[in-house]
Amino acid sequence: MALLTDLINLDLSDTTEKIIAEYIWIGGSGLDMRSKARTITGPVDDPSKLPKWNYDGSSTGQAPGRTANPQAIYKDPFRRGNNILVMCDCYTPAGEPIPTNKRFNAAKVFSNPDVIAEVPWYGIEQEYTLLQKDIGWPLGWPVGGFPGPQGPYYCGTGADKAFGRDIVDAHYKACLYAGINISGINGEVMPGQWEFQVGPVVGISAGDQVWVARYILERITEIAGVVVSFDPKPIKGDWNGAGAHTNYSTESMRRDGGYEIIKKAIEKLGLRHKEHIAAYGEGNERRLTGRHETADINTFLWGVANRGASIRVGRETEQNGKGYFEDRRPASNMDPYIVTSMIAETTILWKP
């Protein structure tokens, strides 16, 4: 008698050309992820070859009659073989982008010839917190209590310092398998909090890859019976919040003399500080307090090697006279389509 795990791990490639495509889209909250699967003839590596697929928008907080349009394909680390994950954006029956479709406007920015010419690179540091499912308290924390103060947990090792490493490592390998350019992971300052980095990735692909990496993490925590939270300040008090620091450079910044371009870009970002903060994630005011390695939400500050700044420039960038900078303002629950395209729009297209 076959076990359930045997059936889940069945290799279909020897018996059929059909594959399973898991369509993924963003739900009505703008942060929740939805997905459903369909059978198609494969293999497929071009999203334009995939059919659009409608779904019940009234059950996702997006009103009735919605269509998911395939935009990017990744290998499926859960079903493996030729099966795929399909990142979609969503439209009304009339073909208009729905309000939670932030990819549509981002794609407009990234298809602008001036932006294309600058080949914008992004590296996004996605922080998150693992929670015990039934009580919503961080993994590894005593029920109703607190662990020792921050200090030993950042990049820590040991059963009393690192909580959930099996989930983190499974996610790391699953993202690599899927074809996501995940560049690293580490334990964060608050126990039960972790980070993965995606990048360098060019243009709209940065948003696609971060969303699919989040989806894979949600699926792995589902298997593990743990909840993942992208709340920017999951625990009140003297505990670090969770951000999504966004590293950025353009072709001009990466060339000799690029440091002057970087400083001009940062000046522009300062002039639009309020607009960026408004778009950088819900609840960010609980995180950007001027403490715990953040700048105050109402203050724009940049500096070299300054973790308390809004924008941080690396020491190496200053020394080399070229490189990249880090926008430390985005919250962990930010929409990467909004953040990446807004940075490009402000630094490349916007004329003060």
What six digits make up the tokens of 116? Answer: 């294309």
Per residue in 99-122, pLDDT (tens digit) is: 999 999 999 999 999 999 999 999
Q: pLDDT at position 341, please?
A: 98
> Looking at the DSSP assignment, which residues form a beta bridge with residue 132?
226
Q: 352 or 162: which carries more pLDDT confidence?
A: 162
Amino acid at 109: V
Q: pLDDT at position 251, please?
A: 98
Per residue in 321-336, pLDDT (tens digit) is: 999 999 999 999 999 9
Q: Does residue 314 sit in helix, strand or coil? A: coil
- pLDDT > 90? residue 158: yes
**Crossing angle (nearest 10°) for helices 103-110 and 336-344:** 30
Query: What's the mean pLDDT when you consider all of the chain?
Result: 96
Q: pLDDT at position 6, please?
A: 87
In this prediction, residue 352 has a pLDDT band, given cuts at 50, 70 and 90, of: confident
**Strand 302-304 and strand 311-313: pairing?**
parallel
Q: pLDDT at position 243, please?
A: 97
The CATH superfamily label for domain 18-100 reads Glutamine synthetase, N-terminal domain (3.10.20.70)
Counting beta carbons within 10 angstroms of the beta carbon of residue 296, is it exposed (0 to 12), middle (13 to 18) or buried (19 or more)? middle
> Which of the four CATH numbers 3.40.1160.10, 3.40.640.10, 3.30.590.10, 3.40.50.1820 does domain 111-144+151-349 have?
3.30.590.10
- pLDDT > 80? residue 2: no
Q: Which of 14-28, 91-105, 114-128, 291-305 has the lowest mean pLDDT?
A: 291-305
| Separation in Å, CA 336 to CA 42, 99, 195, 201 | 30, 15, 15, 12
What six digits make up the tokens of 100? Answer: 């939670």
Q: pLDDT at position 292, please?
A: 83
pTM across the whole model: 0.97
Contact criterion met (CB below 8 Å) for 342 and 276? yes
In this prediction, residue 290 has a pLDDT band, given cuts at 50, 70 and 90, of: confident
Domain locations in the chain? 18-100, 111-144+151-349
